[in-house]
Amino acid sequence: MWDFNLSQAMGLMLKTLPFIVLRMLIYFGITLGYVLAIGIGAGIGYGVTAFGDNPGSGAGFGGLVGFGAISGVLYWAREYLLYLVKAGHISVLVEALDGKALPEGRGQIDHAQLVVKENFKEASILFGIDQLIKGILRALNRMLMTVANWLPIPNLDKLVNIISNILNVSLTYVDEVILAYMLRSKSDNPWQASKDALILYAQNYQVMLKNAVFLMLFMYLVSFLVFLLFLAPVAGLMSLFPGSVGGWSFIVALVFAWSVKAALLEPLAVTAMMQVYFKTIEGQTPNPEWDEKLSVASDKFREMKAKAESYISTQIKAATTQKPQANAAAPTSKQEEPKNEPKALE
């Protein structure tokens, strides 16, 4: 049914325990931030309207303001979290998958940061690549998942849309597998490495999508169970804040379930998909036909190709600018020779 070894994937995750702990601290810290922001916002709203005609009516609005404020902060922190957590964790997962020894504790996180910086130099490059990859994968889905690809029956637009949406959700961690290829290839051109990785993914899309959809269903089932488990304790926690914030218990429980998914389930899914991807593409090279298909289907893929070419041109330009400097020193030595001639004539 699937092509990965779940127990082996869990074993690889345990080897990267410092990053698992870091992810848990970050994502559960985010959840706590939501709880506090909603609770404090609701409390302020309750206090402002406590002596009005409708006491406590501002609690719900205050909770909404708190929710929006913390969401805004997290949006701006996204690039840093992407750089430190996701890329760093993938870099050590790649090494664990290759059987390399990993540092322990904080040393593993420091080691991962160095690996990522060596490959991407700055967070903006990694962030730009990640956003392009997501757009290209969605375009690939649109190209492949037509009615003819599934059932040759007319008037199935709604069914196809549902299937397409499921597949798009399943790709939320496939982009991390592409990132793993880029780190593993150790290419000095991250744009070219990501382009090759996408073509290899497209060549094997049937195998990759089958496993991605299965893992997505598994993750969301477990996340739903976690949500049910957290719902009652969260309701009790939210009741400690003043005002009517009981309605927020549902949302906060969802955030808790999302935190478990992001901290534990997504790394597991990524590790499993890495197993499938590297096993499937072993011995393969990017197919020019798929290069052409993706170029036609996605303007973002064309943008990635252009960036890969310009990145190479930049490297060549940097190399050529050093040559005149080396040649400039040569005439100096030739000009010094005549200075010795008068002494020889004397």
User: Which structural domain, as residue segments, surrounds residue 232?
Assistant: 6-311
**Residue 332 pLDDT exceeds 80:** no
What is the tally of helices (H) and strands (E) in the chain? 16, 0
pLDDT at position 344 is 43
Helix axis angle for 205-238 and 266-281, nearest 10°, is: 170
- Domain assignment present for residue 184? The answer is yes
- Domain assignment present for residue 330? The answer is no
- Domain assignment present for residue 334? The answer is no
pLDDT digits (tens, 9 = 90+) for 111-170: 888 888 887 766 667 778 888 888 898 888 777 765 445 555 555 566 666 666 676 766
pLDDT at position 247 is 62
pLDDT at position 292 is 94
- Domain assignment present for residue 343? The answer is no
**Residue 233 pLDDT exceeds 60:** yes
**Dihedral sign for Cα atoms in the order 90, 9, 77, 178:** positive
- Domain assignment present for residue 286? The answer is yes
**Rounded mean pLDDT, 205-225:** 88
pLDDT at position 313 is 55
* Sequence-distant (≥ 6) Cβ neighbours of residue 171 within 8 angstroms: 134, 137, 138, 141, 212
Q: What is the pTM of this model?
A: 0.74
Counted domains in the chain: 1
Give the best-scoring range by mean pLDDT among 64-68, 215-219, 325-329.
Answer: 215-219
pLDDT mean across residues, the chain: 76
User: Among residues 197, 101, 75, which one has the least CA distance to residue 140?
Assistant: 197
- Domain assignment present for residue 344? The answer is no
- Domain assignment present for residue 319? The answer is no
- Domain assignment present for residue 322? The answer is no
Q: Which SS3 state, helix, strand or coil, does residue 48 take?
A: helix
